[in-house]
Structure 1
Amino acid sequence: MVDDDEAIREALDDLLRSAGFRCRPFVSAEDFLAHADRADIACIILDVRMPGLSGLELQERLNADGGGHPPILFMTSYADETTRNRALGGGARDVLGKPVDGHVLIASLNSAMAAG
């Protein structure tokens, strides 16, 4: 999960771990990119608006790398149609509004991981 808001990272980490998922929080897109071993990441939960690289810019960079990447779920407080279309057009599996309902997030995560 990549989100600049510490409270959201902690809450999502608790939620995901309680649902049986392993979670690795990152404070920024740059932090995520600097992580040497991303091979064991099954899905990326990504905030849209962050300082530095935005979530959409990180998605574009991952797409440009050409090596494929895990499915992406976006979460945002700014779910306007342009942002949603850009995220989904870039291959995101879902765009969820903040605050996100835990059951909705888990269902979307399971669906994204099943689809690969």
Structure 2
Amino acid sequence: MSVLETPLIAVVDDDETVREAVAELLYVLGVPCKCFDRAEAFLEAYIPGQFAWLLTDVRMPGMGGLELLRRVKAMEPSMPVIVLTSYRDSLLEARALECGATAYLTKPVADCDIIDLLASAIDHDLEHSPLDERGDSGNG
């Protein structure tokens, strides 16, 4: 995968340790990311189409992750959003999924869970690429 094909991932979490750990994992995988310490900072920097997917914490000072999820889905409905939380809460999980979250993960998150989600997001993008729509995907 070339640099131009590599997706840019947004990581929004008020916990610096989590941001750094996710950024380091993505770096090792060769996937660029941009980290934000709060939802408002992400929205201030947001440009439609800039990010391939968003990983956000739920509970943060200021705007929470569910509100960020709602706003992102209103602006860019197809963007995959992964919700992270330190709290196991089936009602919160149901609300996140109802709002359009692609996945709901509980901290601490295993690297393999993030890798699997990233692989799924990339596969989804490839399946829905303009080449695939023209029938030039090389499958035949």
TM-score normalised over the length of structure 2: 0.76
Contact 1:2-1:46 within 8 A present in 2 as well: yes
Residue 111 of structure 1, CA deviation: 1.2
Q: Which moved more, 1:105-114 or 1:49-58?
A: 105-114
More contact order relative to length (CA 8 Å, sep ≥ 6): 1
Letter in 2 for 1:39: G
Q: Which stretches of structure 1, 4 residues or more, deviate above 3 A after TM superposition?
A: none
Aligned length: 115
Aligned partner of 2:23 in structure 1 is 13
Contact 1:79-1:95 within 8 A present in 2 as well: no
SS at the partner of 1:52? coil
SS at the partner of 1:44? strand
Alignment partner of 1:92 out of 88, 95, 101: 101
Report sequence identity in percent. Answer: 42
Structure 1: 5+ residue runs without aligned partners?
none
Considering fraction of residues, name the structure with more strand: 2
Residue 75 of structure 1, CA deviation: 1.0
Query: Quick check: which has more Rg, 1 or 2?
Result: 2
SS at the partner of 2:34? coil
Aligned partner of 2:90 in structure 1 is 81
Residue 107 of structure 1, CA deviation: 0.3
Contact 1:93-1:112 within 8 A present in 2 as well: no
Structure 2: 5+ residue runs without aligned partners?
1-10, 126-140
Residue 74 of structure 1, CA deviation: 0.9
TM-score normalised over the length of structure 1: 0.90
RMSD over equivalenced CA pairs, Å: 1.5
> Relative to 1, partners in 2 of residues 1:36 and 1:44: Cα closer, same or farther, differing over 3 Å?
closer
The separation in 2 between residues aligned to 1:41 and 1:88, in whole angstroms, is 20
SS at the partner of 1:87? helix
Alignment partner of 1:48 out of 42, 58, 61: 58
Contact 2:83-2:96 within 8 A present in 1 as well: yes
